[in-house]
Amino acid sequence: MIPAAFSLLIALPPLMWAAAVFDRVGTGRGATFIGPLRNGAALMLRPNTPTEAPDALNRLLAPGWYLALALVGLSVVPLTEGVVATDLSTGLVLWGACEALTVVVVFLHGWSPNSPLPLIGAYRYVAIGLPAMLLSMFVLIAAALPAQSLSVVEVVEAQRSLWNVIRQPLGLPLFMGLGLAITLRGPFDYADGAELAGGTSAEESGPALALWRIARLAMLVAFSAMSATAFLGGYLGPGLSGPVWLLLKTVAVMAATVAAGRWFARMPPARMLSFIWVVLLPLSFANLALVGIEVLP
Amino acid sequence: MTDALFLVLSALAIWSGWRVFRVDSMVRASFQLMVSFIAVGLIAVLLAAPYIGIATIFMMAVEMMVMALFMVMFMMNPAGLNPMVMVHQHRFSVAAGITAFAGLVLAVLLSDLRAQPLPVDAQVVRALGHELLGPSMLIFETAGVTLLAAMIGAVVLSAHSGRYGGSDQGSRPPGLHPGGEPAGRKPDKHGGHQHHGHHGGH
């Protein structure tokens, strides 16, 4: 348990840096590799701006909670056979709790500065984030069905014969919607959008903003590792050792998520809400029903 | 270790439960209640009920988020950051609180609680699933559907009076001058054709 937690903590910063590099590729901003580090260092030196009558405690803690949720979510991912930081019989539910609390934390981040643009971002995000989270829970239940267990270790072991991405092809794309929502990017970024001057981060600068961005990257890493585990067979694979496979798959999902965030257009919140409830959620029900029929003895 | 964790979590649950009534904002009260429930959920995990404990955290995060949102919407307290009094009906609340506390304490003291530790290989999640979808299915399904109906009913009843008149009349803002055309976007009732024709006439 402790070696696994250490390995995760060592692997996380380079992966977060890789995520920041993916975010920069093709944006024409230059300094692809050193840019994220330079920007982070510059943010550390800037002061944070005060707002009028904020909820100081939550404003201070929200970025830290976000990072903590990413770490807890990441901890249920098994690194190789029998090596997992949080070996829980209900690991998928713990991941779900992290998703749900992420919505709360992003809301608090926008609510606590007591300022209009962050507040609009916070409310919009809750409306979109909650159904996106429901969606992911149905998809994850479908991933747990062949394993007949809510333990993430069992979910990986059940994919020895066939990965879930082939057995239930709808799962990974739908889960990616949740990934875009909890990492606040692309078509699901209603919290920190540019049209709200940064949304929930509009009033932030300095170390608080740096930590918020770090937490977003950490959540992207956690989400990528989780989807690689639930749908792409996690540490399973021929030839290479388990952790190497997990790393490769995580980086691949990360790149795909960043690309999806750039590729898909963003809709007005009301239309997105209808789209989630009318199209995506029924698709996740269909996915669940198909898997149910398949595993029925 | 477990005992110390239990004491810390119980203290957190009670303290944040008390804070719910002392803070001055709907959003703060909701999330204090959430913290209280998270502590209770973690106690359930300590009591070898991992599914119930973590599912409580999961559900309470969603529920308190929705509750904060709806309370702010219905209380017309912009953003929930304006100070407001969170307690009312003092005498009735005190009596109800004392009665509920006494009843729960009696229930705990009088019921025969098992003290032996669970066997290591006990499949508690599986057993819970068999219970929920077996003998207790009717109770849980009835309670679930009743709660859902109550929630939808409460929202429909309380949201009937919309911002600009009855919500079933179509929400149209008042005109910019008395008796004038409604301001804002017009509802697309007759399709786009008449609209286009009107503009073409100019």
Range with the largest mean pLDDT of A254-258, B75-79, B166-170: A254-258
Q: What is the CA radius of gyration of chain B?
A: 25
B4 and B74 assigned to the same domain: yes
Final residue before a domain boundary, out of B83, B112, B144: B83
**Residues on chain B touching A114 (C-beta within 8 angstroms):** 79, 81
What is the C-alpha to C-alpha distance for residues B123 and B76, in angstroms, rounded to an integer?
A: 48
Within this chain, do residues B1 and B79 fall inside the same structural domain, yes or no? yes
Where among B29, B60, B83 does a domain terminate? B83
pLDDT lower than 70: segments of chain A: none
- Give mean pLDDT, residues B173-195: 64
Expressed as residue numbers, the domain containing B27 is 1-83
Question: Number of structural domains, chain B?
Answer: 2
CB contact under 8 A, B54 and A130: no
Please indicate, yes or no, whether residues B10 and B79 belong to a single structural domain of this protein: yes
Residue B81: its chain A contacts at CB < 8 A? 53, 55, 111, 114
Looking at the domain assignment, is residue B109 inside a domain? no
Residue B119 falls inside a structural domain:
no
**Residue B186: what pLDDT?**
65
pLDDT band at B74 (very low <50, low <70, confident <90, very high): confident
* A89–B124 CB contact, under 8 Å: yes
Residue B148 sits in the same domain as residue B72: no
Average pLDDT, chain B: 81
In a domain, B73, yes or no: yes
Q: Cα–Cα distance between A279 and A270 in angstroms, integer?
A: 14
For B187, left (φ over 0), alpha (ψ -120 to 50), or beta?
beta
Q: Which of B24, B63, B73, B81 to mutate to test the interface with A (most CBs of A within 10 A)?
A: B81
* Number of residues in chain B: 202
Residue B68 falls inside a structural domain: yes
pLDDT of B77: 58
Chain A residue closest in CA terms to B24: A55
User: Is B3 a member of any domain?
Assistant: yes
Question: Does pLDDT of B36 surpass 90?
Answer: yes
Of A224, A96, A76, A99, the residue nearest A154 (C-alpha) = A76
pTM of the predicted structure, to 2 decimals:
0.87
Regarding whether B2 and B62 lie in a shared domain, the answer is yes
B93 part of a folded domain: no
Instruction: Determine, yes or no, domain membership for B33.
Output: yes
Q: Among B83, B111, B144, identify where a domain stops.
A: B83
Closest CB to B65 among A90, A97, A103: A103
Kindly state whether residue B160 falls inside one of the protein's structural domains.
Answer: yes
Q: Test B58 with A96 for CB contact under 8 angstroms.
A: yes
How far is B163 from A262, CA to CA, in rounded Å? 38
Residue A221: which of A62, A42, A53, A74 has the closest Cα? A74
Distance between CA atoms of residues A227 and A172, nearest Å = 7
